[in-house]
Homo-oligomer: A and B are copies of this chain.
């Protein structure tokens, strides 16, 4: 898509050399054929080092755009990003295109749907009501139970099991906001990648990335009714117990254990092997993975137990 076309579509004046834009990504991750954006001055260093060919930013930040990068200047760059993201959104569902490639010895129910351009491995089972969107891939031996939905462009590895009602690849929760308090959708043009030997329980919701990939690494075991926000990275062999949630862009190291109804805030990093008791609320980076944590705010679980015992004593009449 030509940059001139994008600029016109989102209402930014643009003069200078026109270039082809293949997509949008963050300042750090954008390639030289992608555009990016700066919404928060704390990422100024990322701006100065971006490889993006063009950047949405305000007038002040435009001064720091590296040479060879085109500044698209607007006082509401995040709002313009939202408008631009829509231009790159693929069709919700394709009605034309190449038929899926289906491996050997598969069971594909009559009411299962396999989209255009999908690649389904050998010995895959797609039970009734399963939806596999366009260009999605399902690895050998994987089982998708009844009424699982895998959105377009997502990938499921080999030897995976996904239980009924789970959604893989729904849109991440991202919006820009107008001064009037309206919300403008940032189209979530990334995907979800589930590696090999992952099991996911019933009625989970795993959002696709806004840019790039939401990643569930190999051997993870994920229980029921769990929320994984866009762009999370769940380390290999991690265990997530029922009704827990991980907000967007948070990274878990390998073999992390999150108890039932626990939650991690967005944009944090959790050390490998960290363990979290049920109901833990994790709001900051966890750097020491050798401990068991609990409570909200988070502390060591044994401290939380001690604190709760102390508090309960407040109820006893004073002598």
Contact = CB atoms under 8 A, between A and B. Distances in A.
Q: Which label, helix, strand, loop or mixed, suits the secondary structure of the A interface?
A: loop
A229 B204 CA distance: 15
Contacts of A182: 219, 237
Interface in A133-155: 133, 143, 145-147, 149, 151
Contacts of A265: 278
Given A147-B131, A167-B164, A307-B311, A219 B183 contact: yes
Contact of A107 (B93, B145, B201, B278): B93
A237 B165 contact: no
Contact of A129 (B131, B143, B279): B131
Contact of A299 (B128, B223, B312): B312
Contacts of A255: 181
Interface string A249-263: 000001100001101
A278 B283 CA distance: 10
Contacts of A165: 147, 149, 165-167, 203, 205
Interface string A86-108: 00000011010000000000010
Contacts of A296: 279
B201 A203 contact: no
A236 to B, nearest CB: 9
Contact of A203 (B113, B205, B308, B310): B205
B260 A242 contact: no
A219 to B, nearest CB: 6
A125 interface: yes
A227 interface: yes
A224 B205 contact: yes
A255 B131 CA distance: 34
A278 B278 contact: no
19 contacts: A93-B125, A111-B113, A131-B164, A133-B146, A145-B151, A146-B151, A167-B203, A182-B219, A182-B237, A202-B205, A203-B204, A205-B225, A227-B243, A245-B260, A247-B260, A297-B312, A303-B315, A307-B312, A311-B311
The 10 closest A-B pairs by CB, nearest first: A131-B146, A205-B224, A149-B164, A167-B202, A202-B205, A113-B128, A170-B202, A163-B170, A164-B167, A146-B149
Given A170-B202, A181-B254, 5 more contacts: A93-B125, A163-B171, A201-B207, A203-B203, A245-B261
